[in-house]
């Protein structure tokens, strides 16, 4: 007779009745194997459900069974969300937590236990979208200039590499992952006026490349001591391997000190600056949406609010009647 399979540490940590714990483990397994969510996401979902089941144990006065979970009313779930609010949990965390609970409820429905209508009846917490914080045009240009970091103890090719990456972020509006995802054969050199990048969700888009970017990439490749194969990463680290995004983040941190820029000056802020400066010069919103690779126009429209805010700041600072 075979010995019983040892319980998973996660299983032992989960509250709830035996059937609830069993279904929880099956749900988490399906998230990892069928939906192929990352280990961190599965861990976060497990933590979210654990908190919910712990709350229900006190709320219901006993360990919740699957039947009890399916019998919950919207008021029960709102009580849990209210309790989390009392613990100073933000809207984004609550939104993810509710998504985890709904996913678990759908699992129970698929397994034939019944309908979990209460979870669908709860309105998703509203999350305020933070306005992008772009750099000024002069600061954005300075960040991409190798001369600003000329006094640093860095090899010239590394300074040229960082400048080329930052030029792509500001000059083409790329995400840092998109810039570092370019291959050597994608290099915008020798008059190449556009590049194709792989954006979020595996969506490709074509982005125009201005001469300043071409020059920056050409300078980097001219100085780079490594022979990069066509299918290799365009931007390499000090030892010739793929360049880590953290290296570019550190480079921008050093530039913040050199230029006296705020903490909001990050690699991603250069992408914000690209969009904001285009809009300020009369760029078409739909065109900017395509350049940025935004799936929704509403995401791009955030930049109109940024522009309006800057106009009002300028008005308040300069107009003689602004303070009256």
Residue 161 a catalytic site member:
no
Position 129 in a domain: no
38 vs 52, higher pLDDT: 52
Please indicate, yes or no, whether residues 186 and 93 belong to a single structural domain of this protein.
no
Residue 252's domain spans which residues?
A: 137-318
Contacts of 29 (CB under 8 A, 6+ apart): none
Of 78, 93, 120, the residue that ends a domain is 120
The catalytically annotated residue of 67, 155, 200, 286 is 200
How high is the pLDDT of residue 299?
54
How high is the pLDDT of residue 13?
65
Residue 98 confidence class, pLDDT cut points 50, 70, 90: confident
Of 66, 92, 120, the residue that ends a domain is 120
pLDDT digits (tens, 9 = 90+) for 171-222: 888 989 999 999 999 999 988 888 888 887 777 888 888 899 999 999 999 9
Position 132 in a domain: no
CATH of the domain at 51: 1.10.150.130
Position 157 in a domain: yes
How high is the pLDDT of residue 9?
40
Residue 108 confidence class, pLDDT cut points 50, 70, 90: very high
Whether the predicted pLDDT of 319 surpasses 50: no
The catalytically annotated residue of 21, 271, 272, 277 is 271
The catalytically annotated residue of 205, 256, 268, 310 is 268
Q: Provide the domain count of the chain.
A: 2
Give pairs for 145-153: CB < 8 Å, separation 24+. 146/219, 148/255, 148/258, 148/259, 149/251, 149/254, 149/255, 149/258, 152/254
The CB-side HSE value for 226 (13 A sphere, CA atoms) comes to 19
Residue 203 a catalytic site member:
no
Residue 85 a catalytic site member:
no
User: What average pLDDT does the segment 121-130 reach?
Assistant: 69
- Token pair of 185 as six digits: 């054969």
Report the run of H or E that residue 206 belongs to, with start and end.
strand 204-208
The catalytically annotated residue of 45, 170, 220, 303 is 303
Residue 200 a catalytic site member:
yes
How high is the pLDDT of residue 295?
58
Contact between 267 and 249 (Cβ < 8 Å) = yes
User: What average pLDDT does the segment 221-230 reach?
Assistant: 95
How high is the pLDDT of residue 264?
81
Angle (CA) 231 232 235, round 5°:
135
Position 3 in a domain: no
Sequence length of the chain is 324
pLDDT digits (tens, 9 = 90+) for 136-182: 888 888 888 888 887 778 899 999 999 999 999 988 889 899 999 99
pLDDT digits (tens, 9 = 90+) for 260-310: 888 888 898 888 888 877 776 676 667 667 777 665 655 555 555 545 444
How high is the pLDDT of residue 161?
96
Contact between 14 and 53 (Cβ < 8 Å) = yes
Position 324 in a domain: no
Alpha helices in 111-151 (DSSP H): 117-120, 137-143
Predicted TM-score (pTM) of this structure: 0.56
Please indicate, yes or no, whether residues 65 and 213 belong to a single structural domain of this protein.
no
Distance CA 226, CA 161 (A): 12
């Amino acid at each position: 007779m075979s010995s019983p399979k040892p319980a998973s540490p996660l299983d032992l940590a989960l509250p709830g009745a035996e059937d609830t714990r069993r279904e929880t483990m099956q749900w988490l397994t399906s998230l990892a194997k069928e939906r192929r969510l990352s280990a961190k996401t599965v861990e976060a979902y497990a933590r979210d459900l654990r908190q919910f089941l712990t709350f229900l144990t006190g709320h219901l006065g006993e360990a919740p069974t699957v039947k009890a979970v399916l019998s919950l009313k919207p008021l029960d779930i709102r009580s849990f969300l209210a309790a989390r609010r009392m613990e100073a949990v933000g809207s984004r965390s609550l939104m993810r937590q509710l998504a985890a609970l709904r996913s678990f409820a759908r699992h129970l429905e698929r397994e034939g236990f019944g309908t979990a209508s209460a979870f669908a009846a709860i309105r998703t917490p509203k999350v305020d979208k933070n306005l992008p914080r772009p750099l000024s045009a002069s600061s954005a240009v300075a960040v991409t200039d190798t001369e600003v970091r000329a006094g640093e103890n860095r090899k010239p090719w590394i300074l040229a590499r960082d400048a080329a990456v930052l030029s792509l972020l500001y000059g083409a509006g790329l995400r840092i992952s998109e810039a570092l995802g370019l291959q050597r054969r994608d290099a915008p050199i020798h008059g190449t006026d556009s590049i194709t990048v792989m954006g979020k969700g595996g969506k490709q888009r074509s982005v125009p490349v201005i001469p300043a970017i071409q020059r920056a990439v050409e300078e980097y490749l001219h100085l780079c001591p490594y022979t990069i194969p066509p299918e290799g990463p365009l931007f390499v680290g000090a030892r010739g391997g793929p360049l880590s995004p953290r290296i570019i983040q550190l480079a921008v941190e050093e530039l913040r000190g050199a230029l006296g820029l705020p903490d909001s000056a990050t690699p991603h802020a250069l992408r914000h600056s690209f969009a904001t400066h285009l809009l300020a010069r009369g760029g078409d919103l739909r065109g900017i949406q395509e350049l940025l690779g935004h799936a929704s126009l509403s995401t791009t429209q955030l930049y109109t609010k940024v522009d309006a805010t800057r106009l009002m700041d300028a008005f308040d600072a300069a107009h003689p009647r602004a303070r009256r």
